[in-house]
Amino acid sequence: MLQIQHICKEYKTGKFTQKALDDVSLKLRENEFVAILGPSGSGKTTLLNIIGGLDRYDSGDLVINGISTKKYKDRDWDSYRNHTIGFVFQSYNLIPHQSVLANVELALTISGIGKAERRERAKAALEEVGLGEQLHKKPNQMSGGQMQRVAIARALVNDPDILLADEPTGALDSDTSIQVMELLKKVAKDRLVVMV
C-alpha cells in the first residue's frame, strides 16, 4: 500500500542544516497498526508529515498503491490528503466555539459533501468512538480523552485508507491513553494506522 524509499529530508536555517530523515525506507500494509518510536528530534513527526503530504521530501520516493509521488503537483497532494489520509493530532485541533458534531462535519464540508449527508456521517463517526450522546457539547465541556475521540472521529469521517496519529495520547492520563490506544487498534482492523 505505502512504500517509503530512501527518503531524505533536511531543514536549513541560515548556514545550519538539520538532517531530519536520512535514507529512510519502510513498507506499510493495509490493516496494520504501526508505531514509530524514537527520541525527541529523531524525525518521527517529519516522517508522519511526509506520509500525510503535509511536508515534501528532498530525495527518495513515497509510493502510494504502486504510484510514485515524485511528480505530484499541489492538486495531487490536496486530493491525496482529502481522500486518503485522516490526521489525529496531540493538540486535538478542535474549533472551541463549535459543537463536536460541527467539528467532525467540518472535514466533510471541505470535501464538498452536502449538509444532510455530512450530518449523518458525522453522527455515525461520533457514535463509532462512543460519543453519540455528546453531539452538541463544545470542546471545553469535554475531558481530554473525549476531545481526542472527537479528533479521531473527525479523522475517520471521510473513511480514509490511512490514519496518521501524532502523539495521540501525549496529553492524556494513563487510563484514558489505554482507551484511545484500544480505539486506534480497533480502527486498524480496516485501514492502515501509523502512530508516533
CATH class label, 2-195: alpha beta
Q: Taking Cα atoms as reference points, which of 43, 22, 154, 33 lies closest to residue 88?
A: 154
Q: What is the mean pLDDT of residues 82-99?
A: 91
pLDDT range class, residue 38, cuts 50, 70, 90: very high
Q: Is the pLDDT of residue 110 over 80?
A: no
Domain ranges of the chain: 2-195
Residue appearing with cell numbers 499541489: 74
pLDDT range class, residue 1, cuts 50, 70, 90: confident
Q: Whole-prediction pTM value? A: 0.89
pLDDT in tens, 139-191: 999 999 999 999 999 999 999 999 999 988 887 889 888 988 999 999 999 99
Q: Taking Cα atoms as reference points, which of 6, 4, 8 lies closest to residue 19?
A: 8
Say what the pLDDT of residue 123 is.
Answer: 97
How does DSSP classify residue 178?
A: H
